[in-house]
Amino acid sequence: MRNRAAVGVRDNDRVSVDPLPVALDVDTGIDDACALLLAALHPALDLRAVTCVGGNAPLADVVRNTLTVVETAASVTDVYAAVAAGADRPLLETPVDARHVHGDDGMGDLGLPGPVGEPAAYHAVELLRKTTVTCAAEGRPLTLVPLAPMTNVALFARTHPEAFARLGRVVFMGGGAQVSNATAAAEFNVFHDPEAAAIVLDACATLGVPVTMYGLDVFYAPTVTRTAGRALVASGTAVGRLAGGLIEFACRRFGAEEATIGDAGAVASLVVPDAVRTERLPVRIELSGTWTRGRTIVDTRGDGVDLTHDPHGLAPALIDVCLGIDGAAVAALWLSTIAGEWS
């Protein structure tokens, strides 16, 4: 078993032994699983907590899938992350799963044995509170990475604003400036719980937590080929079989020769920030609209526009919106991490 503190991180010939503390909020989910593996295995990241929310699949499936992925990662490295179950439905909306994308079990129907462990005995909101406070007290503020509908994160913000304010940063997968998927206007995670997304952006603005939106404008670019997926499976390791199986399932499901690693790109952006191009822009969540509910309204009009004359007032949140990505670099990072080539 590799000890990440002892191994250290090779970064342009600089070896760091201070990995970034992160927590992932997930609805595992094929690409959430890809993200969890990267967060658990890459030595630049210290995966401290994983919270589960209903989204791609019902909550019970999400918890099982998440525990399975974390236990698989733990077979090759030290993973200290607790896993906790959170909200099983959006704040107001009716849950709508995405099993047509992620499989009947929510994670590629790979026929894996169930996990050995159980989730924490307490709620996801409590795990987020405890982890945020602990990391802040250690002087290493937590980076929270929501990769799912933001119900848990909104509940955390409203229940424990003093703890939420101690987050180092929020990097969420959701929304899109120009691209949508769940509807013609909205991305799935924001569409699933628009009120939660609005609450989180409001809390970040009010409490001074920097926030990055890793949305659909960049989400699809990092891809892994079916051939690479097959090679991972053939490697015979538990991590390779899981990761490669997910890629192969996604290729089969969409009749494609390559699959996006989706949510994993948001995690990768923490390790290789230069692979992503961002612009700081005002963003609102559309909470009404006949056909646009759940859209992230990204104001790209630029400096020439006098926002004080905006009839709807100033946007509450200025967000680093990801608008460009080196997809090949991100995919290469993921593949090499899964293959254990960083050690």
Spatial neighbors of 301 by CB under 8 A, at least 6 apart, are none
Q: Which does 46 bind (CB under 5 to 8 A by kind): ligand BDR, Ca ion, none?
A: none
By the rule CB under 6 A, 181 interacts with ligand BDR: yes
By the rule CB under 6 A, 320 interacts with ligand BDR: no
By the rule CB under 6 A, 33 interacts with ligand BDR: no
| Among residues 73, 98, 185, 335, the one that binds ligand BDR under rule CB under 6 A | 98
By the rule CB under 6 A, 56 interacts with ligand BDR: yes
Q: Which is nearer to ligand BDR, 37 or 98 (CB)?
A: 98
| Among residues 19, 21, 29, 265, the one that binds ligand BDR under rule CB under 6 A | 29
Asked whether 197 and 303 are in contact (CB, 8 A), the reply is: no
CB of 251 to Ca ion, least distance (A): 18
By the rule CB under 6 A, 212 interacts with ligand BDR: no
Measure the N-to-C terminal CA separation of the chain; round to a whole number of Å.
11
By the rule CB under 6 A, 188 interacts with ligand BDR: yes
Asked whether 125 and 160 are in contact (CB, 8 A), the reply is: yes
Neighbours of 184 (CB within 10 A): 9
By the rule CB under 6 A, 61 interacts with ligand BDR: no
Beta-strand runs (E) in 65-118: 82-85
Give the type of residue at 246.
Answer: L
173: left (phi over 0), alpha (psi -120 to 50) or beta: beta
Question: 183 is written with which tokens?
Answer: 């509807």
Q: Which does 68 bind (CB under 5 to 8 A by kind): Ca ion, ligand BDR, none?
A: none
Sites of contact with Ca ion (CB under 5 A) = 27, 29, 32, 147-148, 263
CB of 198 to ligand BDR, least distance (A): 17
| Among residues 189, 269, 278, 337, the one that binds ligand BDR under rule CB under 6 A | 189
| Among residues 262, 282, 294, 327, the one that binds ligand BDR under rule CB under 6 A | 262
Q: Which does 217 bind (CB under 5 to 8 A by kind): Ca ion, ligand BDR, none?
A: none
Question: 127 is written with which tokens?
Answer: 């795990």
Alpha helices in 258-326 (DSSP H): 264-271
Determine the interface stretch with ligand BDR among 82-90, 113-121, 134-142, 187-195 (rule: CB under 6 A): 187-195
> What is the distance between the alpha carbons of residues 181 and 265, in angstroms, rounded to a whole number?
17
> What is the distance between the alpha carbons of residues 197 and 319, in angstroms, rounded to a whole number?
13
Rounded to 5 degrees, φ, ψ at 319 are -125, 145
> What is the distance between the alpha carbons of residues 153 and 14, in angstroms, rounded to a whole number?
34
| Contacting residues toward ligand BDR, per CB under 6 A | 29, 31-32, 56, 98, 101, 147-148, 173, 181, 187-189, 262-263
